[in-house]
Structure 1
Amino acid sequence: MVDADRQLSLEIVPIEEAVPALEALLFASGGSEDVPTLAAALEWGQSDVRRALSALEEELRAHPRGIALQRNGDRVQLVTVARYGRAIERLLGIERQVKLSSAALETLAIVAYRQPVIRPEIEAIRGVDSSGVLATLVARELVEARGRRPGPGNPVEYGTTGAFLRFFGMTSLEDLPPLEETQAGDTTGINL
Structure 2
Amino acid sequence: MISEKGKIEALVYASGSNGISLEKLSEVMNLPDYKIKNTLKELSEQLIKSNDSGLLIIQSDDKYKIATKQSINSLIVKLVGNTSVKLSQSNLETLTIIAYRQPITRIELDEIRGVNSSRTIQKLIELKLIYKSGKKTVLGNPALYSTTSKFLKTFGLNTLDDLPNKEIKEN
CA distance in 1, matches of 2:95, 2:38: 28
Moved over 6 A (4+): none
Q: Give 1:28 deviation, angstroms.
A: 1.2
Match of 1:27 in 2: 13
The normalised TM-score by structure 1 is 0.67
How many residues align? The count is: 164
Match of 2:152 in 1: 165
Match of 2:52 in 1: none
Structure 2 unmatched ranges of 5 or more: 50-54
The percentage of aligned residue pairs carrying the same residue is 34
Q: Give 1:108 deviation, angstroms.
A: 0.9
Deviations 1:78-119 (A, max 9, x none): 3334454333212x2313463211000001111122222222
Q: Give 1:59 deviation, angstroms.
A: 5.5
CA distance in 2, matches of 1:82, 1:174: 23
CA distance in 2, matches of 1:164, 1:172: 10
Distance 1:146 1:161, change over 3 A: same
1:156 correspondence with 2:134: no
Distance 1:126 1:158, change over 3 A: same
Distance 1:56 1:38, change over 3 A: closer
CA distance in 2, matches of 1:155, 1:22: 43
Deviations 1:19-55 (A, max 9, x none): 55433211112122345544443345xxx44773476
Structure 1 unmatched ranges of 5 or more: 180-186
Deviations 1:133-177 (A, max 9, x none): 011001011112222333333332222222222322333333322
Are the counterparts in 1 of residues 106 and 144 from structure 2 also a CA contact under 8 Å?
A: yes
CA distance in 2, matches of 1:140, 1:97: 11
Q: Find the residue that maps to 1:64 and give its secondary structure.
A: helix
